[in-house]
Structure 1
Amino acid sequence: MKHIITILTILIIASCSKEQTFSGTASLTLINAVPNSTPSLVTNFSGTDPINYRNALKLEYGKADKGQLNLSYTGEQRLAIYKYPDTNAHNAPLYDLTLHLQVGATYTLFLTGTLTVPDTMFTIDNPPYHPISDSSLGIRFVNLMAGSVPVSVNLAGRAHGSEANNLSYKSMTGFTNYAATAGISKYTFEFRNTATGALISSLDVGDINKASFNARRYRNFTLALIGSPGDPTTHKAMLIETFTSLN
């Protein structure tokens, strides 16, 4: 299964005074978790100024493109996000945001909610370090399903809630380390209704013990539940790589 992440690296020039200027970068990951936002959302890092939709960064639902980067030169970053094709009256953006990005920090902006009531979850990410001597990966869990009941997360075959329990909308756990050794090929995680135990979505986190390349070892990920509670076709467990701070 292919898990792709959109990373937008924001170049920031921050002035502490008229005489002294520090420059650096902040890392921003954008995730489209808005159900029925097909074919995509598009970004405008110039706020609501006119953009060329054909060349704009497109965020597909439940996906992102690691190869697309966007650069800016300020710590206060204006970001407008539109539905593509644009169906809002008077070309109004779905989101009109101002992000405050600190040099050296790593952020994730989850676009969630619905097309009629858009919402966001903005996190400063501090994933754990995995030393060479510790063959492991880190995973945290988040419920991004607007209007959902609380959910639990378990490894397949284990008790409900074995990994996380009673996650309400926009609740996120800390990182848990999992072994990423040659004897383990995958982990299967299941999101369930906490009250009833009904399965909502599941995901295999694989590519752990490939002889040629271990795609998971020493890295960190966010496993997100996305979708609309009333539409099972939108239910999805999404794996997102979480990057280490640039500090």
Structure 2
Amino acid sequence: MKKYIVFALTLLASLQSCKKDGPTFTPLASLNVADAVIGGRNVKLNTNVRDSATLYSYKLFQIVAGESPIKLYPTNNPAAPYFDQTRTTVNGGIYSMFLTGTASAPENVFVKDEIPPFSQDSIVRVRIVNCSVNSSAISVTLGSAPTATIFSNIAYKSVSAFRDIELKTRLAVGGNIFQVRDSSGTLLASYTLPATGLVSVASSRFKNITLVVRGLAGTTGGTDAFGIYGMTNY
């Protein structure tokens, strides 16, 4: 009988130990990095040597939530990071880092994203960020209604709220063309949301995207030409 009692106590202790030593989960947050640094290079995050945010594009990374060290550095010069600070993040949080400025004087915009839920309507939710270091405040119109402003007075390093844009299967002519204008209404650049692809009419309907204004205002050629590119936001 004594042996059975000892065995039962041993089994109970073992079960309690297993319960305490169960699986643990690392709290994670998402970080969407947009690389719009004038004269910059592709960017890597912390010790992740496999993935890069390519210049004038973006990459979605995961980071450990909490007091999160974030080091974003160009692939050609890891010793001169574009950003190297700690940010407080929450488990399951979604964040965006817009890298801007120049390679010799990088700047950034770090935001906690409040992503709207998927829509049941045929729309895309769009926001815009101005990462053109020498631009004045800009506005945005649609090609289908060039006199109606959908975003206005977006200064350098400003990020707009998301706005619903109609994106029906049968689009109005120019309904997928976003036009960037200066304060006088002069057209500076345009971006056509393509029919297919990761950021496109087909994949973005019901979802959310960010349009990044990039490059040097007044520059029409070369790598750092003024323009726009899109990035996904779920």
Q: Give the TM-score band, short-chain normalised.
A: 0.7 to 0.9
Q: Distance in 1 between matches of 2:64 and 2:211?
A: 31
State the alpha-carbon separation in 2 of the partners of residues 146 and 136 from structure 1.
31
Asked if the contact 2:32/2:59 (under 8 Å) is kept, the reply is no
The aligned counterpart of 1:175 is 162
One-letter identity of the residue aligned with 2:191: L
What residue in structure 2 maps to residue 232 of structure 1?
220
The match for 1:85 is 76
Unaligned runs of 5+ in 2: 1-23
Q: CA offsets per residue over residues 59-117 of structure 1, 9 Å max, x none?
A: 21111356xx55x444112122222212x8xx332321212211121110111111121
Which structure has the larger Rg? 2
Task: Classify 1:149/1:207 alpha carbon distance in 2 versus 1 (closer, same or farther; 3 Å).
Answer: same
Paired residue secondary structure (1:64): strand
Cα separation, partners in 2 of 1:214 and 1:56, compared to 1, 3 Å: closer
Instruction: Look up the equivalent residue of 1:104 and give its one-letter code.
Output: G
> In the alignment, is residue 76 of structure 1 matched against residue 70 of structure 2?
no
TM-score by length of 2: 0.75
3-state SS of the aligned residue for 2:220?
strand
CA contact (8 A) 2:26 2:64 kept: no
Contact 1:130 1:137 in 2 (8 A): no
More helix by share: 2
Structure 1-normalised TM-score?
Answer: 0.72
Q: Is the 8 A contact 1:35 1:61 kept in 2?
A: no
Query: Partner residue of 1:122?
Result: 110
| Distance of 2:52 and 2:31 partners within structure 1 | 15
Q: Does 1:147 align with 2:134?
A: yes
- CA distance in 2: counterparts of 1:95 and 1:172, whole angstroms: 19
Gaps of 5+ in 1: 1-20, 46-50
> Which amino acid in 2 is paired with 1:103?
N
Equivalent of 2:178, from 189, 202, 210? Answer: 189
RMSD (Å), alpha carbons: 2.6
Equivalent residues in 2 for 1:96-115, closer than 5 Å: 96-115=84-103
Does the aligned pair in 1 maintain the 2:136–2:155 contact within 8 Å? Answer: yes
Letter of the aligned partner of 2:135 in structure 1? S
